[in-house]
Structure formats: C-alpha cells, structure tokens
Structure 1
Amino acid sequence: MDAQEILRLYATGHRDFSHVNLVQVCLTNAKLIGAKLIGAELVGADLRGVDLTEAHLNQARLNQANLAHAAMIQACLTHADLSGADLSGANLTHADLSGADLSGAKLGGTDLREADLSKADLSGADLRGADLCRANLKETDLSNANLDGAYLDEADLTGADIEGAKIDKAGLRGTRMPDGVVYA
C-alpha cells in the first residue's frame, strides 16, 4: 500500500489499516485522525506533521520514523517500536505509550503531559525540554536519557531506572522519584 492509496481509502471513510506495510512511506501533514494502524510496518516513514489524534498504533513498528511535530493526542501506542524515531516537537498529550520502545528516540520539546509511559524503554532518549508533567513513568527505563530542561512536575517515576540520566536542570516539583519520595 502506498501513501496515495491510504489517503484515498481514508477519505472514503476507511479507518482500519492494521498490519499494512508502509515502510518508508511519505505521509507528511496527512490527517489520519482515529486511524487503526495496529501492527503496521512504518519503519523509516516520513510522518512529519501528521495528525494521528486518537489513532491506534499498538505494536506498530515506527523505528527510525520521522514524526517531528506530529499530533498524536490520546493516541494508543502500547508496545510500539519507536526506537531511534524523531518525535521532536510532537504532541502526545494523554497518549498511551506503555511498554513502548523509545530507546534512542529524539523527543526534544515533545508534549507528553499526562501520557502513560509506564514500563517503556526510554534509554538513551533525548528528552531535552520535553513536557512530562503528570506523566506516568512507573518502572520506565530512563537510563542514560537526557532530561535537561524537561518538565517532570508531578510525574510518577516510581521504580524507574534513572541511572546515568541527565536530570540536573529538569523541573521536578511534586515529582514522585524512583524510591517513592516526592520531590519538594
């Protein structure tokens, strides 16, 4: 399936694109609100500025995809592979990324307010300036991640691995740290 076909089908009301092969497809600025892309192959896809609000991308393969400035508000990305993906400036407010692989991902300036990142792998991720206020980061792997300038106010990091993570300049007001202590 190519970009033209998926956009044509979407325009006719089709929403289920589960398990489709869209490797390296270019869908920049496309509107795919509420689309079902469960298990889809989107490796290396160019999805800059795409609107995937309330989309279902559970177990999708988005590694090395470019999702810069994408709108993924309330999207479901449980157990998705986003390793090495560029999500800088994307809006993932209220998104479910539990169990997702975001290792080495670029998340600078990304809006992850109230997102569920529990048990996700964010090892080595670039989260500089990201907004993670009230995010669920329970048991998340943040080892060697760069959180300089990130906002973690009221986030829950209970049981998270922050070994080697850069959090010196992060906002931590009311944050529940890995040991359960709330940062003042």
Structure 2
Amino acid sequence: MTRSERNNLLAILAAIILIIGGIAAAVIFGVKDAEPQLVADEVAVTDGATQTPSAEPAPPADPLADAQVNSIHSGGAPEVGDTFGDVARMRSWEGEVDVWRGGNPQIILGPAGNWFPAGQPGCGDGRYVVEFSATGQLTASLRDELGETTREKDARTGWMLLDDCHLPYVTLTGEAEDPQDTVVFEVHEFQPAG
C-alpha cells in the first residue's frame, strides 16, 4: 500500500470516527437536555393550580338560557339545540300565517295548524322559541292568559322566547306596497327535563 493510499484510508477512518462520535455526543447530550425539559413540563402540569391560568377563551354562553323569558328580539334567532337551561326540546313545527296591514293581530299557529299550545291553566314551566320572518314590516306581540299585550316589537325578522302562559301574535304594520303579507314561522317547544 502506498503512502498516499494509507493517508487516504486514515483520513476516511478518522472521518468515520468523528461522525460516530458526533452521533454519540448528540444522543447523549440530546437525551440529557430532553429529560430536564420533560421534568419541567411535568412540574408545570402538576403545579398548574398554583400558576396563573393562561387566557383561554370562556365557553360560549347559551343565548337562550341567558335571554329574558317573554321577550321579543329583532334579527335571526340563536341556534336552537335539544336543551337550554333546565328545559328539553319536546317538539318543533313550522308554518305560515297571513297578516293584513291595519288588520287584527294573527296568532302563530300550533302543530298541524291547530291552536298554539300555551296559555293553559297551570302554565309557567314550558318555553317556546318562535322564529318569524316576512317581507313587510311586522309588529310581533305577546299576550298573557287574559289577552293583554305584555310585549311588542317591530321587525321584519325576529324571534321570541316565551313561557307557556303567553301566546305569540304578529300583524303587518307600516307603509307596505302590498296590504297583505305571509309570515313564515318556526316554533320549538321546550318542557322541563326529567
């Protein structure tokens, strides 16, 4: 073997030894550095109660549970789930009712076009979410068991949250091109859970 071949072989062996040494050092020092970090993470998790919590977003409030009962609101209704507060959805229905400008308020209909199922003796525990919409300006109103109007609001689109002691009504108001309009509605009935 010539002197230059021997030097090349030694250079290659030296390079291999350096590479193996570098890998070994990286593994040894890498594991050493990872362990303290792991311990620090464990301490942070176990001591989390004593540290100031990070600013995590609060869970979204339930707009139906937070809404005042026997209220009328303009705009789209919040998402209606199977429960809110301490009531659970019993049934839902939708329909249409015709209203006339200057005419008498029309009651939102009950299931299958029957009378709205509220206003009965012993009422107060049930809840109804009534969504309504029309092309013309409406006045939505709530009437108690004596037929007295307790709430009123003008809106083309809106929603009501009422107990089962009140009935929902709508009428066409304002200056509309057409003296008649159709109100589209959707009702969700909730009763105490359990």
**Shorter-chain TM-score tier:** under 0.3
More helix by share: 2
- Return the TM-score normalized by structure 1: 0.22
| Structure showing greater Rg | 2
- Return the TM-score normalized by structure 2: 0.21
More strand by share: 2
Higher relative contact order (CA 8 A, sep 6+): 2
